[in-house]
Amino acid sequence: MIWRSDRRRTFLLCWLTYAGFYLGRVNLAMALPAIQAEFQWPKAAIGLIGTVLFWSYACGQLLMGYLGDRLSARRMVAVGLAVSALLNLAFGSLGALWAMIIVWGLNGWAQATGWGPIMKTLARRFAPSQRPRLTAFFAPCYVVGHAASWALAGLLVGSWGWRSAFWVPGVLLVLLGSVWYLLARDAPPSAPDPPFTPADPVAGLDGPALPSAGAGISAGGVAHSLLGIVRTPRLRWALGACFCLAMVRDSLIFWGPTYLVEVQHLSIASAALTSLLIPVSGILGTLIAAWLLHRVGGQHEAPVIAGLALLMAAALAAQRLSPFNGHWVAPAMFALVALTGQGMYALLTTSLPLSRGREGEVATVAGVLDFFCYLGSGLSAALVGGLQESYGWSSVFLCWLGLALVIALLALRERAAARLATPLTSG
């Protein structure tokens, strides 16, 4: 077995813990209709609760990713789960919009403690040569966590009201945080890195190193780390790819059911059932992307991302040009876009940060990449809604198509640059 028993335990603990974070974050979506029905607030006003969570989570990723490389992952994740649990319990007891906005915004910060520190924990236990396999098995955790949270929240809202959709997850997050704190182990600062297989052919050309894990914690340090990533050629392209990909992936999740109802004339129940193709295809996309990464040597994500982005663009173009108008066309397109999108997302936010294990920057890089993803996510809902209202669904598909081509261009440019750089490292 490639993975020793202690590594398997660490992997399983990280997988379940990060999936569990979603219990206290995406439960809001299932509770919103009941909240609106009770308080009769305008949709635009109620939407501010989710908007604040989105942006606070994005900003939190910058700081928590930076701290994740410098503080105990065991303590950070446990504290984040505990704080998120308390905020969920508080949210379920509120009745004022302004208080809900504040509490859910704080929850975004607490939720941001999960991704970066957990990525660092995995990087300390697994060598870079295991990135394809690790990506394939770990990335589905957030898809499963998202689906499980919606299922639980929907059941709770239907049975005991919307407040229970926050109280029950709050209790579960306390239990999850306790299990994490008892079972997780931080690698000693002096512990040697796991054995690595042959070095990256472009190692040494990645740009300036970020501050070491022992560097002081300050606002200047966070800004310096962000600047270091922006100046790193192998990572800079990924920031733009993350932003564009999130605009396609998350707006598809948000607006996909609406398209099926308005254009394909499906019932709400049928549209909801059809939309399950998105997470199912996403899991398959993660496995395919990891397999492709392994096939290209496990060293470079860019060529795989370029291929997946071009396939996404082809699916979007086919949707607009297809002479067939059957109900199967749109779901098939959604499934293919979800497959390619989730595959790229796994490589960008899981595999690429894990490649920075040697530099000790795993949590920092993971946090910054996730920050750019959620910037795109925050923009996508409003942009797609405005395009659809003003110019129709054709403009939305053209926007998605353009974004997919931009991702492909960024990835192809990165791969070309890496190939040109390789001869310089062999002498």
- Closest C-alpha among 31, 323, 8 to residue 169: 31
DSSP 8-state class, residue 191: P
End-to-end CA distance of the chain: 36
| Digit-coded pLDDT (tens) for 371-396 | 888 888 777 766 777 787 788 888 88
Q: What is the pTM of this model?
A: 0.70
The pLDDT score that the predictor gives to residue 177 is 95
Give the model's pLDDT for residue 427: 36
Residue 31 one-letter amino acid: A
Q: Would you state the pLDDT for residue 51?
A: 74
Write out the two tokens for 303.
Answer: 């060529």
Q: Among candidates 307, 338, 327, which has minimal Cα distance to 400?
A: 338
Q: According to the model, what pLDDT value does residue 5 have?
A: 78
227-416 matches 7-185 in CATH topology: yes
pLDDT tens digit sequence for 220-277: 555 666 666 666 667 788 999 999 998 898 778 767 766 776 777 766 556 656 666 7
| Angle between helix 140-160 and helix 27-39 axes, rounded to 10 deg | 30
7-185: in CATH 2.40.240.10: no
Structure token pair of residue 290: 């990891």
More confident residue, 48 or 409: 409
Question: Which sequence spans correspond to the domains of the chain?
Answer: 7-185, 227-416
Residue 139, CA atoms < 13 Å, CB-side half-sphere: 33
Q: By C-alpha distance, which of 131, 136, 18 is closest to 73?
A: 18
pLDDT range class, residue 7, cuts 50, 70, 90:
confident
CA distance 250 to 146: 13
Instruction: Give dist(CA 155, CA 144) in Å, integer.
Output: 16
Residue 189 predicted with pLDDT over 60: no
H or E stretch including 49? helix 43-68
Q: Give the pLDDT score at 36.
A: 79
Alpha helices in 326-392 (DSSP H): 329-346, 352-354, 362-391
> For residues 156 and 160, what is the distance between their CA atoms, to the nearest angstrom?
6
Q: Which residue has the higher pLDDT, 324 or 427?
A: 324
Q: What average pLDDT does this structure show over 98-114?
A: 93
Res 87: pLDDT: 97
Confidence (pLDDT) at 421: 61
For tokens 């403009």, what's the residue? 395
Q: What is the three-class DSSP state of 135?
A: helix
**Residue 293 in this model has a pLDDT that exceeds 90:** no
Is the distance from CB of 145 to CB of 19 less than 8 angstroms?
A: yes
Which H, E and C letters describe 6-44, residue by residue? HHHHHHHHHHHHHHHHHHHCCHHHHHHHHHHHHHCCCHH
Segment 317-345 mean pLDDT = 79
* Confidence tier at 330 by pLDDT (50, 70, 90): confident
pLDDT at 306 over 90: yes
**Rounded to whole angstroms, how far apart are CA atoms 245 and 389?**
22
DSSP 318: H
Q: What is the pLDDT of residues 224-240, one digit of tens each?
A: 666 666 666 677 889 99
**Is 313 a residue whose pLDDT tops 90?**
yes
pLDDT top residue among 421 and 6: 6
pLDDT in tens, 75-99: 999 999 999 999 999 999 998 999 9
| CATH architecture of structural domain 227-416 | Up-down Bundle (1.20)
